Amino acid sequence: MGRLLNKIKEPNDIKRISPKLYPILAQEIRDFLIDHVSQTGGHLASNLGAVEITMALHICLHFPEDKVVYDVGHQSYVHKLLTGRKDEFTSLRQKDGLCGFPKRCESDCDVFGTGHSSTSISAALGLAVARDLEQKEETIAAVIGDGALSGGMAYEALNNLSILRREKKNMIIILNDNKMSISENVGGMSRYLNDLRSRRSYSEFKENVENALNNIPGVGKSVARTLKKSKDSIKQLFIPGMLFENMGITYYGLVNGHDIYELIHAINRAKQHEGPILIHAITRKGMGYKYAEKNPEKFHGIGPFDKETGEVLAKKTKKTYTDIFAESLVELARENKKVVAITAAMPSGTGLKAFKKHYPKRFFDVGIAEEHAVTFAAGLASQGMRPVFAVYSSFLQRGYDQVLHDVCIQKLPVFFGIDRSGLVGADGETHQGIFDISYLSHIPNMVLMAPKNEKEMPAMMKFALEYNGPIAMKYPRGSVYDGLSEYNAPIELGKSEMIYEGQDVVILAVGNIMEECEKAVQLLKSQGYNPGLVNVRFIRPMDEEMLHVLSKKYSLIVTVEENQLIGGYGQMVSAFLHKNVCKNQLLTLGISDYFVGHATVNEQREEAGINADSIVKSIIDRMN
């Protein structure tokens, strides 16, 4: 097993494989991915669908001199295999192991680090322009999915490709068209690409027309030249790909994305083209593994599973925060017909599939377009609707300007449900939700909340949909914390909740880190200390009244958060104590000034010093 794949130990080793064996190598790669991802978890369906595209690029290009940028990068496992990292796959997405996305420090062949959508064309254009300024001869390629092409940044880059067209400089875009992002694609670009799939190949059509005209004696060649320059409606009607053609990008398609020989032919032709060129390849997400083909959404990102049955090994025993959010939103929408839900291509990940099922006319999937989603929500709110934008913390970063300008300046009642807030584990630096307190808490008019457990979350959501202004609730990935359910004070704007009274030291816990803080309290008690514990609830507005009380009672105040310390809740408390000339000691615990790599959440908390044992050690060290 794997006799061909075992021969690939360095970049470009694939060139030594006989072309007639390429299909066998493709199958070996798929078998390898299924075997290893079933043990480690990871992104499976997207990689299975991109096997032949990646092989063809490695056959036609020379690495690392030539360069490929993978959009999002969750489909880069095959690229990693073909650049000599096969033996590292046992450590995929584990602490200090192989990253699940391209990473510049991992290999010279990972020319550009990715993790979020719609960036590849911009990055590749930068590489191409740098190549031309340095007068080099490299081939630059970008691989982008049809889902990523719904992101506004991709259009900005396509528009800017005129730089290369003007100079007749080459850059290759491969459109990996599988009708999917994570979930099924939506929107105008999706419909446009669906239309292209139903038409004949542009290249075949154009060549046939030109050949036929050229064979007409006397006038044929003249007519052919005239038609080639024409941009009229007849051409747009009959030639697929005119959206790209009219932007100055030559369209080549449709290509079977699982025919390695057809792909090699297309890429070699594209390399000779003067100017930017787009190869439109049709693929099947999950190709070669029946369970992933049948349910590509499930196998987009999956934990360890039984490869014989396709069933996940670790069965879910508790509800997640996303589950609670989804159930509560459906119930609140039943009570208030003005509630509408918005997602940016993440209906499953954010739990909004349930809302869509109950209220399809009040559900809106805007595609991979977080900026648009925020301003769309603002427009709805300006007309009396109660929009809820459910979005991952690391994705909302893209909509920062719109949150500030379009929502907060106008004091519009948009509710942001910020999923995957805090540490998220194996996806690594690009997906950690550890900046949302920092980038939201300083914006005037914004209210920012964090529930301590599953019981508090629905109450916060009800409060949010009754609040007349911008409001956000951050909550983590994974199973809900069901402890401290007996503490259930009413939700009041800007008011924290006292859990335990104590003496000398008090811990202020922000949101889901309450579970570790409560453990820390019990550990401290077992060592003879009597700490107080506060559920912060409202990060903004901060509960200054309670802070005044705490500053008079406790000599040491400790803040704990799953957020960067810079700009975090701890710094807000520090500013308060300084402003009010308080003499208390302050210990702020959170993420120091670094990007958190891929590992388990427990490992990440330990590294950051915010697990229960670390919290206890830090407190005792400070008190001593």
The catalytic site residues sit at: 285, 370, 398
Which residues neighbour 222 within 8 Å (Cβ) at sequence distance 6 or greater? Answer: none
Peptide bond into 64 cis (omega under 30): yes
Q: How far apart are CA 283 and CA 270, in angstroms?
A: 19
Give the SS3 label for residue 273.
Answer: coil
Distance set, CA 80 to CA 281, 303, 428 (Å): 21, 20, 17
Helix (H) or strand (E) holding 588: strand 585-591
3-state helix, strand, coil in the chain (%, to 5): 45, 15, 40
Q: How far apart are CA 106 and CA 87, in angstroms?
A: 14
Helix (H) or strand (E) holding 177: strand 171-177
Q: How many helices (H) and strands (E) does the chain have?
A: 26, 19
Query: Any idea of the CA torsion for 252, 253, 256, 258, to the nearest 10 degrees?
Result: 40
Query: Any idea of the CA torsion for 245, 247, 248, 251, to the nearest 10 degrees?
Result: -30
Give the SS3 label for residue 457.
Answer: helix
DSSP per-residue codes, 401-450: HHIIIIIITTT---EEEEES-B---TT-GGG-B-SHHHHHTTSTT-EEE-
Q: How far apart are CA 72 and CA 609, in angstroms?
A: 30
Q: How far apart are CA 137 and CA 343, in angstroms?
A: 42
Q: How far apart are CA 187 and CA 192, in angstroms?
A: 9
Q: Where are the beta strands (DSSP E) in 429-566?
A: 447-449, 471-474, 497-500, 504-509, 532-535, 538-540, 554-564
User: Is the CB of residue 562 less than 8 Å from the CB of residue 474?
Assistant: no
How does DSSP classify residue 597?
A: -
User: Is the CB of residue 508 less than 8 Å from the CB of residue 517?
Assistant: no
CA 141-302-308 angle, to 5 degrees, is: 110
Long-range own/partner contacts, residues 486-493 (CB < 8 A, 24 or more apart): 487/535, 488/455, 488/456, 488/459, 490/459, 491/456, 491/459, 491/460, 491/462, 491/463, 491/537, 493/447, 493/463, 493/467, 493/538, 493/541
Give the SS3 label for residue 193.
Answer: helix
Q: How far apart are CA 549 and CA 12, in angstroms?
A: 67
User: Is the CB of residue 389 less than 8 Å from the CB of residue 415?
Assistant: yes
Q: How far apart are CA 416 and CA 515, in angstroms?
A: 23
Where does residue 620 rank: exposed (0-12), middle (13-18), buried (19+ CB within 10 A)?
middle
Where does residue 24 rank: exposed (0-12), middle (13-18), buried (19+ CB within 10 A)?
middle
Backbone φ and ψ of 349, nearest 5°: -60, -35
Q: How far apart are CA 312 and CA 40, in angstroms?
A: 11
